[in-house]
Amino acid sequence: MGVLTPLTAVVGRVLDRTLRRSDYGWIWNWQARSLHNADIAVAGFADQQELQRSGQATAGRICELTRVSTSDVTLEIGCGTGRVGLHVAPRCATWIGTDVSRLMLRHAQRRLANHANVRFQGLDGSSLGPVPSDSVDVVYCTAVFMHIDEWDRFAYVEEAFRVLRPGGRLYVDNLNLTGELGWEVFRQLRATPPRRRPPQASRCSTPQELESYLARAGFAAISVLSEPLFVSAVGEKPTATSPLG
């Protein structure tokens, strides 16, 4: 899901007075009414070459940090149109795309139609309820936390802990309030009159916030990477034999 998109300028006056930020499904179904609009909403652009390049780069980073292998069941929280999942799916045994928007899932299904090892699951906005406990090796969530409330960010981290097998890995990221580029996004949105800010307007995180979510959910071996635009955190679910388990 995108950072700042042209779409917000078009719909902000309508959405910010009729919807709550927590109306995730409605908001993102509206954004996904066409593939063109959906790609802009999730990435900030619809150029197919740039979508390919950025999706591949993000997937490579996530797979490296979480050590994705060809035997892993991998789940993406907020898969959008499949921009990143398209490049993760070939690297794992099974890829599960989840999203609050049924229309986003429809676009993702079409984008990943040539991959036989994928499946899709709708979400309620704060849980992975239909996904069985201890059934997944890697969970990742990229460019989603910016659009959801803090309580729901933590809820997804807790749910990731539940569905991961012992030794499973989690990756999450968000705009970095402490980074120069992340602060610039914050500054631009601050300049927008409050009543003109759409409910999905991007909100930043700090490195301490993401680290706290993972630690309080029970993850171990947590590492946090703070960059000018994004901050990311990776953690592992302790094994039964771990002293942290």
The per-residue pLDDT for 43 is 87
Spatial CA neighbour of 139 closest among 121, 116, 115, 112: 121
CB-CB contact of 85 with 107 (8 Å): no
Q: What is the DSSP string of 46-101?
A: --HHHHHHHHHHHHHHHHHHHT--TT-EEEEES-TTSTTHHHHGGGSSEEEEEES-
The per-residue pLDDT for 241 is 54
- Bridge partners, 174 (sequence order): 231
Spatial CA neighbour of 134 closest among 47, 75, 181: 75
Listed by start position, the domains of the chain span 6-236
Was domain 6-236 assigned CATH 3.40.50.720? no
* Helix pair angle (24-31, 6-18), 10° resolution: 140
pLDDT in tens, the chain (245 residues): 444 344 344 344 344 447 888 889 989 899 999 999 989 988 888 899 999 999 999 999 999 999 999 999 999 999 999 999 999 999 999 999 999 999 999 999 999 999 999 999 999 989 998 999 999 999 999 999 999 999 999 999 999 999 999 999 999 999 999 999 999 999 999 999 988 888 999 999 999 999 999 999 999 999 999 999 999 999 999 997 544 44
Spatial CA neighbour of 201 closest among 175, 227, 233: 175
Spatial CA neighbour of 138 closest among 163, 156, 119, 102: 163
The per-residue pLDDT for 4 is 38
